[in-house]
Amino acid sequence: MVNLSDSGFTPEQSSYLSGFVSGILQGRELPFLGQDGERRFTHEPEQSVHGTPIDDLCKEERIKHEQHGLDCYDAILANAASGEFPKDGDVFRYKFHGLFFVSPAQESLMLRCRIAGGALSSQQFRGLAVVAEKWGPGHVDLTTRANVQVREIMPENAPDVLMTLSEIGLTSQGSGADNIRNITATPTTGFDPDELIDVMPYARAMHHYILKNRDLYGLPRKFNISYDSGGSVSVCADTNDIGFYAVKVGENEQGLKPGVYFRMQLCGITGHQQFATDCGVLLTPAETVSVAAALIRVFIENGDRTNRKRARLKYLVDDWGFEKTLEETQKKLAFPLRYFPLESCEPSAPKAKQGYLGIHQQNDGKHYIGVLTPVGRISVPQMLALADVADEFGCGEIRLTVWQNLIIPGIPEEKLQAAITAIQATGLDHRNNTITGGLIACTGSRGCKYAAADTKGNAVELGAHLASKMILDQPVNIHLTGCHHSCAQHYIGDIGMMGTRVKEEDGSTVDGYNIVLGGGVDDQQAIAREVWKSVRADEIGPFVEQLLCAYLARREESES
């Protein structure tokens, strides 16, 4: 019961109100939506979830069936009032609001935002700095979905964090659990001279469509969508469940109007060593949201809800094939899917590895500066200073990349030097170091319970070691991931490392890595293959140095 005794209400009023508030906090008085979209005021349990009997549901599905994740806001408020962390099923439901209880790695909550296309205004960037300063650890982490995470949030501050996020025009809704994750887009889109189309309007449209359609929450498993503008900067769209790739279609035998369209690639899931592949469908830009929504609804109705390991889109498509998957998608669309041969589309520009860093000319003659933020960690003073740079010298915008770095666009030639000086004054740098420019790491053991190693700490040490020993004329991407969930996508790194525990002679274990080599994305697409197992974390510096020296000594001309 909520205590209102000090509120100035009469005892009768207080008793009535506290009962009412408690009723809300326990979710008793609130209507909820059934699977059929009907609002109900009493709980009438359904006997199955999209055809899967309740008894067969896996643990997470039962939690979702018990209460929709988006309906746990009352629990967030109640726990804030009592200063408690979520328990039982609410630990999972909190993720529907982007709040992760990360115990035992840290006794606190982590906030994961949702930032369409990784595009932020300078004001939003400042707002995130305020969240990190007031309720977090004084820094944020940029993620591999061009997103921002803030750690060390206490339960009593969670409502303030969510409200502040909303007030600065951002949200965290659906950024975790079985939902559609942050929509990514080529980070230079809109000003990239090589691109075919500005994809930001479509990434934003997708973002808002998801936010406004409650039936698109509570999928069988998480789901990723990305837009590639056809330019030279990668967004790793082929690692997504749906990757939309802009292509040009010229005069053709099929009689299709020449123009820019999107190829739809499906089922990228590199943690399972699979890239997205072209499904034969060609879409106009305006069709992409409807088709993605239809396909997701097919997945919602037919995906596996009994076994988490087989719950991603890939497994439904493995069972059905593209043909049946697209036939079922077609049934939910008001227009026919357009099948068009891939060979009849013009090839896109090759990707420039680490092309998001440094100074580049935009399509309007201005410049963007890509800033290297080592393993994505950036302090509040740095954030505030970069927001000032964006306002003073740029167009007031900041773009996040999926490589845990950021871009400040819209800088006229005459302001470039002043902008660079201001960036360097923050301790960050725009100059591309070919080794650290593509060095990314997941959260690791300092903040994630699944991690077998301190990925961020090890990555920073590795970068410092290599930078002090060598200069590479070719960019190398190094990805450190703490466990098989592969948040840092180790299989697409030139050098990928997955955390493991390495046994010592006395039976104890230390941090270490299994090392894979030869990964890449887009036109350099390759799944890296495992070459070494159980390399101790404190040996990876000299180990990778030796590896790169061998590469320099034995490579063929311009071999990557």
Residue of 450, 467, 535, 551 interacting with ligand SF4 (CB under 6 A) = 450
Q: Which residues ranging from 468 to 527 are in contact with ligand SF4 (CB under 6 A)? A: 481-483, 485-487
Q: Does 239 bind ligand SF4 (CB under 6 A)?
A: no
Nearer to ligand SF4, 283 or 451 (CB): 451
Look-up of token digits 């590639």: 228
Nearer to ligand SF4, 157 or 489 (CB): 489
Ranges of beta strands (E only) in 136-290 are 139-142, 148-153, 184-185, 225-228, 242-249, 259-266, 277-283
Residue of 25, 161, 357, 448 interacting with ligand SF4 (CB under 6 A) = 448
Q: How far is the CB of 534 from ligand SF4 (least distance, A)?
A: 17
Q: How far is the CB of 448 from ligand SF4 (least distance, A)?
A: 3
Q: Does 442 bind ligand SF4 (CB under 6 A)?
A: yes
Nearer to ligand SF4, 209 or 450 (CB): 450
Q: Which residue's Cβ lies closest to ligand SF4?
A: 482
Q: Which stretch binds ligand SF4 (CB under 6 A): 3-11, 93-101, 127-135, 439-447?
A: 439-447
Ramachandran angles phi, psi of 495, nearest 5°: -125, 120
Instruction: State the Cα–Cα distance between residues 455 and 514, nearest whole angstrom.
Output: 12
Q: Does 80 bind ligand SF4 (CB under 6 A)?
A: no
**DSSP characters over 42-60:** S----SEETTEEGGG--HH
**Number of Cβ atoms within 10 Å of the Cβ of 314:** 18
Q: Note whether 348 and 278 are within 8 A (CB).
A: no
Q: How far is the CB of 486 from ligand SF4 (least distance, A)?
A: 6
Q: How far is the CB of 377 from ligand SF4 (least distance, A)?
A: 14
Ramachandran angles phi, psi of 556, nearest 5°: -80, 165
Nearer to ligand SF4, 428 or 540 (CB): 540
Q: Does 49 bind ligand SF4 (CB under 6 A)?
A: no
Nearer to ligand SF4, 23 or 271 (CB): 271
Look-up of token digits 């292509």: 247
End-to-end CA distance of the chain: 65
Nearer to ligand SF4, 121 or 500 (CB): 500
- Name the H helices within 172-261: 200-211
The bridge status of strand 184-185 relative to strand 225-228 is parallel
Nearer to ligand SF4, 105 or 249 (CB): 105
Residue of 79, 443, 489, 514 interacting with ligand SF4 (CB under 6 A) = 443
Q: Which stretch binds ligand SF4 (CB under 6 A): 62-70, 114-122, 131-139, 446-454?
A: 446-454
Q: How far is the CB of 443 from ligand SF4 (least distance, A)?
A: 4
Nearer to ligand SF4, 337 or 480 (CB): 480
> Nearest-CA neighbor of 491 among 524, 527, 450?
527
Q: Which residues ranging from 284 to 323 are in contact with ligand SF4 (CB under 6 A)? A: none
- DSSP conformational letter for 9: -
**Number of Cβ atoms within 10 Å of the Cβ of 78:** 21
Q: How many CA atoms lie within 13 A of 303 on its CB side?
A: 25
Sign of the alpha-carbon dihedral angle for 334, 335, 341, 343: negative
Nearer to ligand SF4, 86 or 376 (CB): 376
Q: Does 451 bind ligand SF4 (CB under 6 A)?
A: yes
Count the site residues for ligand SF4 by CB under 6 A: 12
**Tokens standing for 545?**
């140095």
Instruction: State the Cα–Cα distance between residues 28 and 20, nearest whole angstrom.
Output: 10
Residues binding ligand SF4 (CB under 6 A): 442-444, 448, 450-451, 481-483, 485-487
